[in-house]
A and B are shown apart, each in its own frame.
Chain A
Amino acid sequence: MRLSGECRGVSEVIASLVMLLVVSLLGTTLYAYSQTTLNSLQESFQYSLTLEEERVKEKFRVLAVWWDGSDLLNITILNYGKVDISVDAIYIDNKPATRFLSGRGETVYTLKLVHVKLTSPVAIVEGRGYDIVVVSERGVRCEYLWTP
């Protein structure tokens, strides 16, 4: 059925409104999506960079190792970085210590010492060199060569 000439203008108005609606919806969706994605990316980036920044601020070293003559060790560690740390793992000649008596997980404030007491995972022989690796909770490691 053909519409009369007087009816043509009505469909154009509706078409314009529909177009406006479609453009608004598409724009809102695109904006929301871009906002979410950018925020997520930015937060993820910021988190990893902040973590990395804290790792950069971490500085610690082994000052002394006490040995009882059998298999008990007491490792004195100095935190001289700009953030507090805590010791998470200690390796002796690449073997992880599993029996900690004290010190592990303790918060070590900056410029303070922690004494980590543990049972050595390897037999200690006087005069031999041992590679001691201390790992913090943020994953920063510090190596120390110790000769009893």
Chain B
Amino acid sequence: MNTSGRLSGTRRGTGSIIGAVFLLLILLSGLTAYILTVRTQVAYRSTQEEMDQLERYQGQEEITFQEVSLTGDRRLNITARNTGPNTVHLIWLGVLDETVTPPIQRFSELDLYLKPYETATNISTDDVTILEGHNYTILLVTELGSVFTYTYPPEEAGGARVRIIARNCTVSYSPSGWSLLNSTGYVSGSTSSLVEDDGDYLIFRSHYTGTRRTQYRYVDQIPEPSVDPPTYGAHSNFTAQRSGPDSVYDTLTEESVPGTGNITLIDGESFEDIWPPAGWSETGQWNKESDEAYDGTYSADFDGLGSGRSGDLDTPELDCSDAVAIYVEFWYRDDDLDADDLLLQYYDGTTWNTIADLGSTTQENQWLHYREKITDSRYFVSNFKVRWSAVNIRTGEHAWIDYVTIKEEVETSSYKLDLEVQWRDVDFDEENEELCIYCGTMGSEDLGVDVWYNSTWQSLLTDLNPGWNNVSVAPYLDSPNFTIRFIGGTETGDTTQDSWEIDAALLHLWSEVEEYTVEVEFTGSSNLEDWTELVWWVESCWNISGVDVTIQLYDYALGDYPTGGDGYTSYTSSGTPNTDELRLGNITSNASRFRNATSGEWRVRIRGVKETGTPFLLKVDLIGLQTTYSFSGGTLPYGGWGWYTLRAEDPDGAPIPYAYASVYADGENVLLRNASNGEAMENPAWVRLDSNGEFQLEVSSRSPGGDEFTLYIVVGSLVGERRITQEGST
């Protein structure tokens, strides 16, 4: 084995080869990146060239409007020719009516290819009806974005002119009839009274709609803080009381409340029966006698003799092992007793302890009251006793004991319920006010209800029963806040935990209300145009003050009278009777919904309500509807006002400002007025055009049988005229 470490010649270049491979890989990566970049650039350039090419094509597009005419139903009929070198793809047809404000702009999709020098006819759209007197700009849009425009009707070249441009038409309507709703009565007048604001009224009489006004107010809350703490017990689900009855209950459960109580061990022993009383013991000369008695006929008596004799009177053994205090109470009397002659002693289970020297009392021959609360725990034993010990009572000395009472105070716990609930913002002015509580399963203990009134609890119900429990609270409900409490029937020494189910708690408030109402529905007819605006008005008065009035326009799209928004208004009438009040509304959104789409009928309802014992009158002076719609200007409805813009232009189409124009309509009953200010004009009349070379004119014709007339406008030598047909009255 060669261990010299010299590498053979073939292995010397390994490092160079590896380096060369990596160099090659790096070059390959760079080349790849370069190729991709070049490709991207090529694609970009190709796109750019393509778009440039399209732009060049667009520049070469040429469409010529050869003829624009109208079909019988006033649709456009366009004949256009591709006069460019390339095929043109028409994709949109735009029709812009700039005559009206705001302008109307419609775009319809096309898909029409026109080869070079090819002519297309009947390019049209069903979306647009061409109105007489309106000026349109027609757009033909190609796929490459070229737009070719045409003005229709074509402008007359070579001279100034006067134009009469129709804007819109306004027609007003009054009711043609009315319907009395419910028992509203008719008094006097007719629909002709409703046309003018002239004090000529159509009068209606109200009818009685007195009713019972009822409210059901469920309980609102648990008062925090409590109106009279402390409270005891718990709600399981107070919310359940706030609805129903629905068998969802709020269960009220009593709470264990610790406390103390007294147990009477000897209850007013006055020694009236056997001697000694049962359980008592005596030694010496203690007996019962009737010579002195505090209570009843007898008392325990000890009479002295000679140089003295002694004896004890003992109570039975009293079990005071669970006591926290012992109350000893009796009456005693001494006659000539000396100190230490009559001792009061307590037995602590092992020893008698002297507590008081009753013989030392200076007030003799009278009954004295002894009372003591023993808190010394030595005496809290199972065989506690009290002793009256007579010691060396001599002749002429006497001791009496009567009416002995001994009690022990022990720790107790009792189940209690005292839960308050409250109503807030209660309407406390109603004639009838009842508290209604619906109960489910009730615990065996009584459940009472008290009301908080004049800072104290007043009992309302002593025991709630399953089902409804109703009680009048009118005497207590004199403020917006109303608080009651559920209270357990047994609150002392109650060792049983009860619960009660409350389904609903509410106040039932009601009053009998005297009320009168007027309800009238007026109907009228109208046109079937597409209304751009609807103005309505009602002027009326009432022969009493403060009537709640609602005026509604019937919404045929809704199928009902609206309760808000357009076509609705409500107000309280003037405080002064017989005061005319005008209410009006202006509807610009979807106004046509307030008339029948086929008959043109419209309806207005007036309703007046007042809480009163006196019938009253509705007096309607004026009701009207004014409808506005776009029109061609060639036809005017009877009584309608057509708005025309009179415009003088020079040969370039620029306005001729401030020129004087003569306006004349040759009809029989034509009325003219200035549309800008509403002022009536003579016929014929001179008017001055404004800075835009325009005058806004309104024309109306009122020939009952219809009429045809021509409207002329003359500015210098320029004459514009418009033939107008007035429809007859129907």
Contacts and interface: CB of A to CB of B under 8 A. Distances in A.
Given A10-B3, A24-B18, A53-B44, A61 B51 contact: no
Interface in B634-648: none
Contacts of B7: 12-13, 16
A67 B40 contact: no
Interface string B12-49: 00110011011101100110110011001101100110
B460 to A, nearest CB: 62
Size category, B interface: 35 or more
A28 B19 CA distance: 9
Interface stretch (B90-98, B302-310, B340-348, B553-561): B90-98
Interface string B652-686: 00000000000000000000000000000000000
B5 interface: yes
Contacts of A67: 102-103
Nearest to A41: B33
B107 interface: yes
Contact of B5 (A9, A20, A42, A53): A9
B324 interface: no
B94 A30 contact: no
A39 B23 CA distance: 17
Interface in A107-121: 111, 113
A82 B53 CA distance: 13
Contact of B4 (A8, A19, A20, A34): A8
Interface residues on A, range: 35 or more
A42 B91 CA distance: 40
Contacts, number: 120
A20 B33 contact: no
A78 B36 contact: no
Interface string A59-78: 11101101111000010101
Contacts of B6: 9, 12
A91 B44 CA distance: 30
Nearest to B47: A53
Contacts of B41: 49
B141 A78 contact: yes
A110 B21 CA distance: 51
B138 to A, nearest CB: 11
B36 A42 contact: yes
A27 interface: yes
Interface in A3-54: 6, 8-13, 16, 19-20, 23-24, 26-28, 30-31, 34-35, 38-39, 41-42, 45-46, 49-50, 52-53
B456 interface: no
B18 A13 contact: no
Contacts of A145: none
A57 interface: yes
A66 B22 contact: no
Contacts of B19: 23, 27
Contact of A63 (B18, B48, B107, B144): B107
A69 B29 contact: no
Given A31-B26, A34-B29, A57-B51, A78 B5 contact: no
B105 A76 contact: yes
Contacts of A42: 33, 36-37
A16 B11 contact: yes
B51 A82 contact: yes
A19 B15 contact: yes
B32 to A, nearest CB: 8
List the 3 shortest-distance A-B pairs measured between CB atoms, nearest first: A9-B5, A27-B22, A80-B145
Given A9-B6, A59-B51, A67-B102, 18 more contacts: A6-B4, A9-B2, A12-B6, A16-B11, A23-B18, A23-B19, A30-B22, A35-B29, A38-B30, A49-B41, A63-B92, A64-B105, A66-B105, A69-B101, A76-B94, A80-B142, A80-B145, A113-B107
22 contacts: A8-B5, A9-B2, A10-B5, A12-B5, A12-B7, A16-B11, A23-B15, A24-B18, A27-B21, A28-B22, A31-B29, A34-B29, A38-B29, A45-B37, A53-B43, A56-B48, A59-B51, A60-B145, A63-B107, A66-B102, A80-B145, A113-B107
Interface of B: 2-7, 11, 14-15, 18-19, 21-23, 25-26, 29-30, 32-33, 36-37, 40-41, 43-44, 47-48, 51, 54, 91-92, 94, 96, 101-103, 105, 107, 139, 141-145, 147, 692
Interface of A: 6, 8-13, 16, 19-20, 23-24, 26-28, 30-31, 34-35, 38-39, 41-42, 45-46, 49-50, 52-53, 56-57, 59-61, 63-64, 66-69, 74, 76, 78, 80, 82, 111, 113, 127
